[in-house]
Amino acid sequence: MRLTSFLSTGALLLLASTANGYTVFVSNEKDNTVSVIDSTTLEVTKTIKVGQRPRGIVLARNGEWLLICASDDNVVQVFDTRTLEFVKNLPSGPDPELFTLHPKGNPLYIANEDDNIVTVVDIEKGSVLSEIPVGVEPEGMGISPDGTILVNTSETTNMAHFIDTQSNKTVDHVLVDARPRYAQFTPDGSQVWVSSEIGGTVSVIDVKTRKPVGKVSFQINGVNADAIQPVGIRITRDGKTAFVALGPANRVAVVDTASLKVERYLLVGQRVWQLAFTPDEKLLFTTNGTSNDVSIIDVEKLRVTKSVKVGRYPWGVAIAPF
């Protein structure tokens, strides 16, 4: 009886300890691998070989599939997140770099850096639905929470292109600062935030009017302006706080979305690039392209708690809910 009770308690403890455990996937651009990290132990549990030059990664089918832009293979690869086995290739158009999935789970919108198009792919059928011409060197991809508006940024044209996902046509273009890299909608869909790597700013654009309504600027004591290069952006579900990766400034900026003021700069690894929250939003993972590690930020305490070595040139990060 005592043993049964002990076992039951043990089982409950085990359940409790794994209840908040997530699987973190990090693409390593130079190693052609994806590192798998257990969010509870914060250790790399496996490294899987993937296609050449993996960059953007995203989860599909409620986290069951991991989609990887294998840029130099000109495909999007699909892996099973539980077995870590390769499932299939999806057509991607040339040099896929970043992509975003429709909130309903399909289709996938892929930025093709070399061809100045966005390719729309049905991930179930594995077919190309449309190719949308955009600006030169498309990169950042963000989709509104209701899935009606897609925003693509073009590095050379310095624009955020607004695309109607019903017609797959561009409906507007908004000029932003130099080399826009990433587009992130606020959770209520009212704004889209666009980071500009060379401009060193984040433009905040009103989605209805498609006009810039504000700009976030960054200043870090002792860090030269040319090292402040905003790239990845994540905004908390309550819409109150944004986290912006600042590249070779090696900092993540914590921004109050109401005032657009930076509240804090967190020192992470080198050339911090992309970010992802755990589903419970307790942790934020950052990929650090030069120090070849990921930093883990405690979101409530706004403290960097650990860094974990991964492969060379960690680029994208996605976190499965199990």
Partner 1 sequence: MTFPRGLVRSRRLIRTRLGIACSVALFAGMLAALFAGLPARADEPEWPCVQRRVATLTAAQMWDGPDVEALTGWQDDAEMDRLIKALVSRANPMEQASESLAQWAKAQPDSSRDEKLKMLFAGVLKTINDDRAVVLAGIGRFQHRQRQLAERIQEQGAVLGALRAKAALDEKAKAELTVAEDRYKWDTRFFAERQDSLPLACEIPVQIEQRAFDLAREIRALMKD
List contacts with partner 1 (CB under 8 A).
Answer: 72, 95, 113-114, 156, 197-198, 220-224, 226-227, 229, 247-250, 267, 269-271, 290-292
Identify which of residues 166 and 221 has a Cβ nearer to partner 1 in the complex: 221
Identify which of residues 66 and 268 has a Cβ nearer to partner 1 in the complex: 268
CA distance 91 to 26: 22
164 CB-near residues (< 8 Å, 6+ apart): 148, 149, 170, 171
Identify which of residues 28 and 278 has a Cβ nearer to partner 1 in the complex: 28
| Rounded least distance, CB 181 to partner 1, Å | 11
Asked whether 91 and 102 are in contact (CB, 8 A), the reply is no
| Rounded least distance, CB 222 to partner 1, Å | 3
Identify which of residues 81 and 250 has a Cβ nearer to partner 1 in the complex: 250
CA distance 218 to 200: 7
Asked whether 36 and 63 are in contact (CB, 8 A), the reply is no
| Rounded least distance, CB 53 to partner 1, Å | 10
Identify which of residues 161 and 271 has a Cβ nearer to partner 1 in the complex: 271
- Give the Å distances, CA to CA, from 172 to 148, 169, 175, 211, 236: 14, 9, 10, 10, 27
| Rounded least distance, CB 296 to partner 1, Å | 16
| Rounded least distance, CB 218 to partner 1, Å | 13
74 CB-near residues (< 8 Å, 6+ apart): 92, 93, 94, 95, 96
Within 10 angstroms of residue 243's Cβ, the number of other Cβ atoms is 22
| Rounded least distance, CB 270 to partner 1, Å | 5
252 CB-near residues (< 8 Å, 6+ apart): 243, 244, 245, 246, 265, 266, 268, 272, 275, 284, 286, 295, 297
Identify which of residues 232 and 247 has a Cβ nearer to partner 1 in the complex: 247
